[in-house]
Structure 1
Amino acid sequence: MAASAVTAALSLDATVVLLTPVVLATSARLGARPRPHVFATAHLANTASLLLPVSNLTNLLAFAASGLTFTRFAGLMALPWAVAIGVEYVVFRRYFRGDLAAPPEHVPEAAEPAPLPRFATAVLALTLAGFAVASLAGASPAWAALAGAVALGVRALRRRETTPRRLLASTAPAFCLFVLALGVVVRAVVDHGLGDGLEWLTPDGDSLPALLAVAGVAAVLANLINNLPAVLALLPLAAPAGPGVVLAVLIGVNIGPNLTYAGSLATLLWRRMLHVHGEDVRLGDFTRLGLLTTPAALAAAVAALWAGLRLTGG
């Protein structure tokens, strides 16, 4: 639940960069086997990023192409998000039953509870509310995110908890430039043949079989070329078909990367984080777990999306 909440509210990168080291440290302190919990941070960084437009960069791109409001997007994705997480939970419980049943190596001493970061929590709550308000006002949710970042940054500077240079570095200008360059490259590739091939593979309509096929194509493409290029290539084809097809693409590029290391930048970053902390994850383990979770979670999430669209007339 922690990984799902962090991913949805703070984005999948927060789960990978912040929560994964916490999981490793907590497992070591409790004497528990870390594998189930570490794998959960990777899978839920992808799967649990379905809920909000701000949970993933792919979501922001799909949100812009869908024509939906912030609240409508979240409403349509809430059931697919919950269903996909449920599938992951069931498979994880069975796959890691030996690790979960193993007794702890030692009983830890009681630790004092950490104080609640009230200011940061309040800013987060106001920022999330600001996303909805901005959408209703016809403004980009980026403005609400900027306001929250400024509030936290100014306070950290006043308390001498950071420096202007570190704040600038946290904006990841190199990554922003990478995304821009990637968009230019993908646009060129799509215009010179890839778009025609994807259009031939992508069925028309928003029936359940069509949505399943769209999500499947998106998942395969994400594992072949990474999920960010995949969504950039597919959104121009999906947008004219309506928001349901756009969201099916999103389900494919968000859940699909759990199948391979190369599926998303978050998974690659997760693997790097584990290496830094001296943990080794075998490719076979990751792939076997992905084969068990990804098709089931993908199909269940698409079915939930289709049901939501039919129930709400969207």
Structure 2
Amino acid sequence: MSTTCRDHIGSLTQSIEKKTDIPRLSAAGKATGWGLAMMAVLMLGASALGAPLGWPTFAAGIGVFAGVCMQKRRLLWGYLAEISWSVLPLVAGLFVLVDGLQRTGVIDCLAHAMSPLSLDPASQAGWLSGITVALASNLINNLPAGLIAGYTVVAAHAPLHVLNAVLVGIDLGPNLSVTGSLATILWLTALRREGIDVRALEFLRLGLVVMPPALLVALGALWVA
């Protein structure tokens, strides 16, 4: 094992402080927590009904903000400045990319290529799908990768073991690099506001130690099951 790998594994095995001072949650914090719980319920309900999630999520976010403002009895304009507005064009561009691929027939071609493999129980379609989606998530982000994979497996009428492998790839693959998921980008933005700088190369080095073994073990468990 290389020295770099040992260093990263050593950083993961450091002791965690057991006694910490937990501050009392403020009334605004409690209101935000209840608002997030209601947002989760609303999004799950919309998803169960097959409704688009965009407007319900937006309305729930506005509701949480309004509730905190009412609790504080003032309009908290400063909170709006904490939003990572620069991420919105990125997300919009990613969805435009997916729509362009769908309209140009690329997804249909992917579904056509997947159909023969996924219909053969003895094929390696699960392994291939999981690893491909995991790597694609780091190249184009897991939002478009998940949408493309979702459209593809539906069009190809992929069996359950391929669907499960795709879900594993979407969930674990983005842990490799900072470009893997929107959540990672948002967290890094929040950390940098607090003066904590996590370099992309450092993240990748740790991701190379953590992600591939987890991905292979998870796909292996699906293969055995």
Same structural fold, with TM-score higher than 0.5 when normalized by the shorter chain: yes
Matched, 1:237 2:125: no
* Cα distance in 2 for residues equivalent to 1:167 and 1:160: 13
Q: What secondary structure does 1:100 align onto?
A: coil
Q: What secondary structure does 2:34 align onto?
A: helix
1:293 equivalent in structure 2 = 210
1:114 equivalent in structure 2 = 24
Q: Which ranges in structure 1 are unaligned for 5 or more consecutive residues?
A: 1-90
1:30 equivalent in structure 2 = none
Q: Highest Rg: 1 or 2?
A: 2
* Cα distance in 2 for residues equivalent to 1:170 and 1:280: 18
Higher helix share: 1
Equivalences for residues 151-230 of structure 1 within 5 A: 151-158=63-70, 159-163=73-77, 170=83, 172=85, 175-189=87-101, 191=104, 196=109, 200=113, 203-205=117-119, 209-230=124-145
* Cα distance in 1 for residues equivalent to 2:215 and 2:145: 16
Checking the alignment, whether the CA contact within 8 Å between 1:201 and 1:217 is kept in structure 2 is: no
Alpha-carbon deviations, 1:55-110, whole Å to 9, x = none?
Answer: xxxxxxxxxxxxxxxxxxxxxxxxxxxxxxxxxxxx99x813587149x8xxx9x8
Checking the alignment, whether the CA contact within 8 Å between 1:239 and 1:246 is kept in structure 2 is: no
Among the aligned pairs, what percent are the same residue?
30
Deviation at 1:214, TM superposition (A): 0.8
Checking the alignment, whether the CA contact within 8 Å between 2:153 and 2:163 is kept in structure 1 is: yes
Checking the alignment, whether the CA contact within 8 Å between 1:195 and 1:233 is kept in structure 2 is: no
Deviation at 1:253, TM superposition (A): 2.8
* Cα distance in 2 for residues equivalent to 1:175 and 1:281: 18
1:149 equivalent in structure 2 = 61
Alpha-carbon deviations, 1:237-284, whole Å to 9, x = none?
Answer: 112325844453343233212222332344344445444544444555
1:16 equivalent in structure 2 = none
Q: What secondary structure does 1:155 align onto?
A: helix
When residues 251 and 229 of structure 1 are mapped into structure 2, their CA distance, relative to the original with a 3 A threshold, is same
Checking the alignment, whether the CA contact within 8 Å between 1:224 and 1:262 is kept in structure 2 is: yes
Higher relative CO (Cα under 8 Å, sequence separation at least 6) belongs to 1
TM-score, normalising length from structure 2? 0.64
* Cα distance in 2 for residues equivalent to 1:138 and 1:197: 25
Give the paired residue count.
211
When residues 260 and 180 of structure 1 are mapped into structure 2, their CA distance, relative to the original with a 3 A threshold, is closer
1:267 equivalent in structure 2 = 184
* Cα distance in 1 for residues equivalent to 2:83 and 2:198: 28
Across the aligned residues of Structure 1 and Structure 2, the Cα RMSD in angstroms comes to: 4.4
Checking the alignment, whether the CA contact within 8 Å between 1:153 and 1:167 is kept in structure 2 is: no
TM-score, normalising length from structure 1? 0.50
Deviation at 1:119, TM superposition (A): 2.5
Instruction: Write the letter of the residue equivalent to 1:100.
Output: Q
When residues 157 and 171 of structure 1 are mapped into structure 2, their CA distance, relative to the original with a 3 A threshold, is farther
Q: Which ranges in structure 2 are unaligned for 5 or more consecutive residues?
A: none
Instruction: Write the letter of the residue equivalent to 2:39.
Output: T
1:100 equivalent in structure 2 = 14
